[in-house]
Amino acid sequence: MEENPKMSVPAPLNVGPFTSLVMVKKRYILFYLIQIWLSFFVMQYEFWWYWSFLYDWKYIHFIAFFPLLVFVMYVTLVFVSLGSSKLLLLIVNVFHKPKEGVFLRDASDKDYRYWSIRNTIKKWPVWLSHKFPLPWLDNLCFKMFGVKTTFSNSLFEGWCDCEMVIFGKNVVLGQASIVQSAVIVGNLFIMRKTTIEDNVRIGAHSIVMPGTHIGKNCILSGCSLTTVGQKLDEGYVYVGAPCKKYKKNVFFEDGLEDKLGILPEEMEKLHELYEDLYMKRKDRDITEENNDIIS
């Protein structure tokens, strides 16, 4: 039986703001190279100006101010890359704007092709912003690329797609968590708007699939997974892959100290109570008979 040449091969899904390792067309790398060259072109003039200014007092000023210069040069690198990327995206969106839907993962499909272009353009500034030690630059990068977010959100530890994502206030992404608005499944490419409302906590190594809507005061526990288009009800803890409603989340309710029976000066006990409520295993006890079988 002859193999279908259009059947998909395993896709190297570098989820988050990065494009896949295999682009639709290799020539799209030109966008990436232009941004890198332009960013360093501006940055080198800062160093040249600094070196010329220090001609008579090189050693003293170099030792005293060079660390500050490195910081300024890095910020310049990020902002120039953000500006050039934003300009390129505006031009690209004139020809074809992103939209929700299910498309073919094929170079002939216009939506998939332009998604690849947009992600190639975003790759360099997002990578630079994410390496910056202060998380506000990460939020600024997302906002410039169309993600609705606020500076009260902590997105620094996770990865997030850079379009069709809406965050409320006081959202925290756990380490290595992923929020997606696009995903590749076999020969299909899916794009959906993803919404995460106020006071949501995404646990470490959890994945939020495209189209997910997470209500206020929700917790998606660590190593959990939502399904495409899944709705998580407000005020609950969800666990599992795919995730399921586990129990009511009381940790954002008013008068929490009274409900838990903990005085303000005894708040250190809160962690122990949290572990008992949310981290204690609920598996069935293994009977002595089963222990004998296992042994």
Q: Dump pLDDT digits (tens) for 26-61.
A: 778 888 888 888 888 888 888 787 777 766 666 666
Pairing status of strand 178-179 against strand 213-214: unpaired
Give the separation between CA 175 and CA 177, rounded to whole angstroms.
6
Residue 3's pLDDT band, with cuts at 50, 70 and 90, is very low
Domain map of the chain by residue range? Answer: 26-254
CA neighbours closer than 13 Å in the CB half-sphere of residue 92: 22
Calculate mean pLDDT across residues 1-7: 41
The CA-atom distances, in angstroms, between 5 and each of 9, 106, 187 are 10, 11, 12
β pairing state of 188-191 and 201-202: unpaired
**pLDDT, mean of residues 91-120:** 90
| pLDDT higher than 60, residue 281 | no
Model confidence at 65: pLDDT above 80: no
Which CATH class, in words, describes the domain spanning 26-254?
mainly beta
Q: Which amino acid is at 1?
A: M
Region 89-109: mean pLDDT is: 91
Over the Cα atoms of the chain, what is R_g? 24
Structure tokens at 160: 């997030």
The residue-averaged pLDDT of 222-234 equals: 93
* Mean pLDDT calculated for residue range 243-262: 73
Q: What is the pLDDT of residue 157?
A: 85
Its pTM stands at: 0.74
